[in-house]
Amino acid sequence: MKLTDTKYMIICGLLLSMCISSYAEIINVSGRVVDKYDGEPLIGVSVCISYSDRTDSIVAVSDINGLFSISLPENQLLRFRYGGFDDAFAVAKSNMLIEMENGCSWK
């Protein structure tokens, strides 16, 4: 039994709509990374996508003003890493302000 053109178009349309809806919307994420205590921008902070299997993938690095900008799927968990500071985690959104805390403890 051969499919008619109308049935073929309906099936293709349904399959295409299912594939498109399974992908998350890509959003532009930008923000600034600063020291929590003095508000100074942090240069060279690694912005990583944090995956459920505990692996990270660096997607951006903050510039001289502490600014970063990336495009990625919405609701993605980001991890911010910088030497001597505690890691910070945040859900991706536009206009982020990340305040990182110094991880050194003086004893």
Residue-wise pLDDT tens digits, 5-23: 676 666 655 555 555 445 5
User: Tell me: the pLDDT tens digits for 18-43?
Assistant: 554 455 688 899 999 999 999 999 99
pTM of the model: 0.71
How many beta carbons lie within 10 A of that of residue 30, not counting itself?
14
d(CA 35, CA 102): 8
d(CA 78, CA 50): 6
